[in-house]
């Protein structure tokens, strides 16, 4: 490989994908002393499924009322929310994951709202005994995440597709990608 066609970068943590989950992970990592690099196939906040989503993010109905000011039912708490999730999942759900979701959803949705995500209302979805859904859009969520990403000065490489992970002794030690506009290689250590 000709060095002119290769770019090398080094980071503590590499995140492949920049939208909702990738941006949120990058923000959390940036709060530590670790250097984080996000690689995305497109242009940040202009690509990916998150951007095109209409969404409702469920929280306990009590929090819908007390935290977000929407009509809610005070008797509904994390445990009640969990019961509905298990019932709707035909009791096949991972218990730890459901509990983590139901007990942390309010904190993370409020964080997005505090960062500027616009909320368009609330609703009661099928499978829920109480109203729990906070309505927003992927575009609004990504705008909020983008503001927070900028605040943390997170590094991004756009228009680059990671094609392979590099391993040594069973551990991931880097990645290789292709810069889509040029065809040049990116190697991340």
Do residues 16 and 46 make contact, with C-beta atoms less than 8 angstroms apart? no
Alpha helices in the chain (DSSP H): 20-30, 49-52, 61-66, 78-88, 95-114, 138-151
Q: Which of 150, 155, 129 is nearest to 73 (CA)?
A: 129
**How many Cβ atoms from other residues are within 10 Å of residue 69's Cβ?**
10
pLDDT in tens, the chain (189 residues): 444 577 999 999 999 999 999 999 999 999 998 999 999 999 999 888 888 888 899 999 999 999 999 999 999 999 999 999 999 999 999 999 999 999 999 999 999 999 999 999 999 988 899 999 999 999 999 999 999 999 999 999 999 999 999 999 999 999 999 999 999 999 999
Residues 6+ apart with CB under 8 A from 150: none
Is the CA virtual torsion 158, 164, 166, 167 positive or negative?
positive
Which distant-in-sequence residues (6+ apart) come within 8 Å of 33 by Cβ? Answer: none
pTM for the model: 0.87
30 with 155: CB under 8 angstroms? no
The pLDDT value given to residue 2: 44
Query: What is the pLDDT, as a whole number, of residue 1?
Result: 40
pLDDT of the residue at 4: 52
Give residue 47's pLDDT: 87
Contact assessment for residue 188 and residue 11, using Cβ atoms and an 8 Å cutoff: yes
Number of Cβ atoms within 10 Å of the Cβ of 3: 7
51: tokens are 């951007």
Please calculate the CA angle 79-81-86 and round it to the nearest 5 degrees: 90
């Amino acid at each position: 490989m000709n060095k002119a066609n290769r770019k090398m970068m080094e980071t503590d943590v590499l995140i492949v994908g920049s939208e909702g989950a990738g941006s949120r992970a990058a923000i959390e990592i940036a709060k530590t002393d670790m250097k984080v690099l996000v690689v995305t196939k497109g242009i940040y906040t202009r690509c990916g499924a998150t951007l095109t989503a209409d969404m409702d993010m469920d929280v306990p109905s009590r929090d819908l009322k007390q935290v977000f000011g929407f009509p809610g039912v005070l008797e509904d708490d994390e445990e009640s929310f969990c019961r509905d999730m298990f019932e709707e999942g035909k009791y096949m759900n991972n218990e730890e994951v459901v509990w983590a979701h139901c007990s942390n959803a309010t904190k993370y949705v409020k964080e997005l709202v505090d960062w500027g995500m616009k909320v368009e209302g609330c609703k009661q979805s099928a499978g829920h005994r109480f109203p729990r859904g906070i309505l927003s859009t992927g575009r609004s969520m990504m705008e909020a995440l983008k503001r927070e990403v900028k605040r943390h000065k997170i590094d991004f490489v756009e228009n680059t597709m990671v094609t392979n992970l590099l391993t040594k002794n069973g551990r991931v030690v880097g990645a290789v990608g292709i810069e889509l506009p040029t065809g040049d290689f990116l190697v991340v250590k």
